[in-house]
Amino acid sequence: MSEQTQLSPAQLVNQIRSSYGMTWDEMGAAMGRSGRMMRKIAREETSGESYRAALTELHESGRIEHRPPRRRGKGGELVKVRAKRGTGSTTVTPADLPATPAAQDGAELDRDDARAPGAPSEGSRRSRSPRRQFSSETTYLPDGNRIHTIEMPKTQGARGREEGVKELRRKIVNVARGTKHKDKRVRLEATVDIGGGRTRRVTVGDKAGYLANDVVSDVRDRAGGDMTAWLRGQMGNRYVEELGSQARVVSVTMTTFNATRSKSERVAQDEAGSRRWNRKWTGSRWT
C-alpha cells in the first residue's frame, strides 16, 4: 500500500493544494464538483471517501483519470445538491458527467468506418485526417504550473473549433490573472493539419515562451481578439509557405512556468519602455 492511499481524503486535499498551488474552485472543477465541497473535505466536515481514488490520482500524477461518481437514489436517479446563490432555488439536479474527463470533453477522435453511399473508397479514406472533436485536458504541476492540451476540429466555423479557440484564450487569461505576485510564462506548441492525414508539430515563437500578460494584451490589442490570427502571426511565413495555405491548427499544448526575472524588475523595464523588442509588431519576437 502506497503512502498516498494511507492518507485521509482531507490530508490528500491539503497536500494537493500545497503541492500544485490549486485554488478551491480549480480543484472542484477537476473533480466535477464545487470548490465548497473541497473545502468541506479539507475541514473534515464530510468523510470524502468517495473522492479518495480521484484525489490519489491527482496527488500522484497531477491528473484525474476517473471522477468520483455522483450519489444516486434507490431508483438510480441523481441526488439533488445545493443550488448556487441567486438561482431562485435551494436544490438542483447536478449534471451527470462521464467518469472520465476526456469522455466529457470529446477527446476521442471520430473514426466512423461505416461507408455511406457515394463515400470515398477505403484507400481514399485512409489518406484523410481523423475527424477531431473539441477537448481540453490539464496536467497539474508543482508551484501552480500547468500543461493544458486543447484539441479542436479542422473545419472553419465548426462549433467545436470555436469552443477550442475560446478555451485556449480563456486558459491564457486565467494564467495572466494569477500573476499578482510573480510572473508566469507560457510555452506553446501547435499541431497543424496539412491535409492527406498528415500533421506537423510547430513550436509557436521562441522556446523561451511568452509572458502570459503579453499574450493576453497582444491578442486583444494587436490581433483584434482573434486567437488563431495571433498564432498564425507568431508562426510567421513558415505557416503558409511550408505547411500550405489549407493548413489548420488542430491542437495546442500550453505549458506554464515561472519567469526567472522578478516581477518588480519586469515592471520597471515596462515603465522605462525597454523590455519588449519591436513594439510596432513588424516581427514576432517577444521577451
pLDDT cut 70: percent of the chain above it: 78
What is the spatial distance between Cα 90 and Cα 180, in angstroms, rounded to a whole number? 35
Taking residues 16-27, what's their average pLDDT?
Answer: 94
pLDDT in tens, 65-98: 888 877 777 777 766 777 777 777 777 676 766 5
52 in Cβ contact with 9 (< 8 Å): yes
- pLDDT band per the 50, 70, 90 thresholds, residue 239: low
Does the pLDDT at position 246 exceed 90?
Answer: no
Q: 276 in helix, strand or coil?
A: coil
pLDDT given at position 114: 36
Q: 111 in helix, strand or coil?
A: coil
pLDDT given at position 128: 55
pLDDT given at position 32: 87
Does the pLDDT at position 181 exceed 50?
Answer: yes
Does the pLDDT at position 124 exceed 70?
Answer: no
Does the pLDDT at position 112 exceed 70?
Answer: no
Residue 83 phi, psi dihedral angles, 5° rounding: -80, 160
Taking residues 108-135, what's their average pLDDT?
Answer: 50
DSSP letter string, 36-74: HHHHHHHTTSS--GGGHHHHHHHHHHS--SSPPPPPB-T
pTM higher than 0.85: no
Does the pLDDT at position 238 exceed 80?
Answer: no
Q: Which of the listed ranges 10-14, 156-160, 196-200, 242-246 does the model predict with the highest average pLDDT?
A: 10-14
What is the spatial distance between Cα 212 and Cα 187, in angstroms, rounded to a whole number? 9
pLDDT given at position 126: 46
pLDDT in tens, 28-63: 999 988 899 999 999 999 999 999 999 999 999 999
Does the pLDDT at position 17 exceed 50?
Answer: yes
- Residue 173's alpha-carbon distances to 48, 120, 150, 233, 275, in angstroms, are 32, 43, 15, 19, 21
Amino acid at 35: G
pLDDT given at position 218: 93
Amino acid at 147: I
- pLDDT band per the 50, 70, 90 thresholds, residue 244: confident
pLDDT given at position 145: 95
pLDDT given at position 190: 94
Taking residues 151-171, what's their average pLDDT?
Answer: 94
- pLDDT band per the 50, 70, 90 thresholds, residue 151: very high
Domains in the chain, ordered, with CATH?
A: 3-71+78-99 (1.10.260), 102-110+120-272 (no CATH)
Does 10 or 34 have the greater pLDDT score?
A: 10
Does 181 or 78 have the greater pLDDT score?
A: 181
- pLDDT band per the 50, 70, 90 thresholds, residue 149: very high
DSSP letter string, the chain: --HHHHS-HHHHHHHHHHHH---HHHHHHHHTS-HHHHHHHHTTSS--GGGHHHHHHHHHHS--SSPPPPPB-TTSPBPPEEPPTTSS-SEEPPP---SSHHHHHT-S-B---PPPTTPPPHHHHHTSPPBP--EEEEEE-GGG-EEEEEE--SSTT-HHHHHHHHHHHHHHHHHHHT-SSS-EEEEEEEEEEEETTEEEEEEES-TT-EEHHHHHHHHHHTSTT-HHHHHHHHHTTHHHHTT-TT-EEEEEEEEEEE-SS-HHHHHHHHHHT-SSS-TT-SS----
Does the pLDDT at position 105 exceed 70?
Answer: no
pLDDT given at position 113: 35
